Amino acid sequence: MKPLATLVALVALVLAPGPAAADDMRFLEDDYRSPQNFAFELRLGPYYPAVDDELATAEPFRETFGDNSRLRIGLEFDWQFLSTPVGSLGVGVAAGLMRFVGNSRFEGSGERSSEETTLNVFPIVASVVARLDFAMREWQVPLVLYGKAGVADYLWFVEDGSGKAHADGPSGRPDAVIGQEDTFGVELASGIAFLLDFLEPGAARKLDADSGVNHSYLFLEVLVASIDGLGERDVMIFSDTTWNTGLLLEF
């Protein structure tokens, strides 16, 4: 698996004698940095929701949008309300965006038409975030392990060539059901963040002094999203197990 191989190589690289001398890394100590209370993440990764899992045999999602994952992008803001010698604990809110575009099919023949249909998904997540940065602070190892757990609400709507899509109601009433809703679920994520300050300690010190950004990281995480309505049955399912990468700033 490529992400794992990349991760192993990254770990080997950073554990080897690095470019930053011990003196250079003194800014990691509290006395040499500005207060730190928040974190901001910009993330992206592939996503392929298990919409068809709800259905017995039919695969309308795969038939419309194909087999390939789409890009999921997102932002997250954390408040690190507790700082301990081991690490920090925080709560965060995140919002994201996914868009699946395909072609509607002609009724009867099933051939693809030139009319596009789109599934738009906006995940909103409230989570608890734990970061273990003692190794970084105590031994100047530029790696931080972290984990997240949260509740998520995936808002979604479907568009056809004329706007919001509708389908016939259970009683056969035409266009009685609008193609939009939200699906609740839980998300768990765990990953490793590489401290970019390690590469350019001087620049990191200047960034902290100028803008209050204490640390910047590149991260790679595994995301397990169980978005199945938390027991509700009449929902569209968006579950997936995937990975994310992105940039993290602590300030």
Q: Applying CB under 8 A, which residues contact other proteins? A: 51, 54-56, 58-61, 63-65, 79, 81, 91, 93, 102, 104-107, 113-115, 117-119, 124, 126, 151, 153, 155, 158-161, 165-168, 177-184, 229-237
- CB nearer to other proteins: give 137 or 166: 166
| Least Cβ distance, residue 88 to other proteins (angstroms) | 14
- CB nearer to other proteins: give 61 or 198: 61
- CB nearer to other proteins: give 28 or 39: 39
Return d(Cα 248, Cα 245) in angstroms, integer.
10
Q: Which residue has the tokens 């045999």?
A: 57
| Least Cβ distance, residue 66 to other proteins (angstroms) | 12
| Least Cβ distance, residue 224 to other proteins (angstroms) | 17
| Least Cβ distance, residue 194 to other proteins (angstroms) | 28
| Least Cβ distance, residue 234 to other proteins (angstroms) | 4
For residues 223 and 198, is the Cβ–Cβ distance under 8 A?
no
Return d(Cα 184, Cα 227) in angstroms, integer.
6
φ/ψ of 196, rounded to 5, equals -70, -25
- CB nearer to other proteins: give 23 or 107: 107
Q: Which residues contact 85 (CB under 8 A, 6 or more apart)?
A: 134
First to last CA, the chain: 33
CA distances from 76 to 20, 123, 184, 234 (A): 30, 11, 18, 29
| Least Cβ distance, residue 34 to other proteins (angstroms) | 18
> Residue 225 is encoded by which pair of tokens?
């999203």
| Least Cβ distance, residue 189 to other proteins (angstroms) | 17
Q: How many other CB atoms are found less than 10 A from the CB of residue 121? A: 23
Pick from 239, 190, 242, 240: which is nearest to 219 by CA?
Answer: 190
Q: How many other CB atoms are found less than 10 A from the CB of residue 229? A: 19
- CB nearer to other proteins: give 22 or 56: 56
- CB nearer to other proteins: give 153 or 200: 153
- CB nearer to other proteins: give 40 or 79: 79
Q: Which residues contact 36 (CB under 8 A, 6 or more apart)?
A: 80, 83, 214, 215, 250, 251
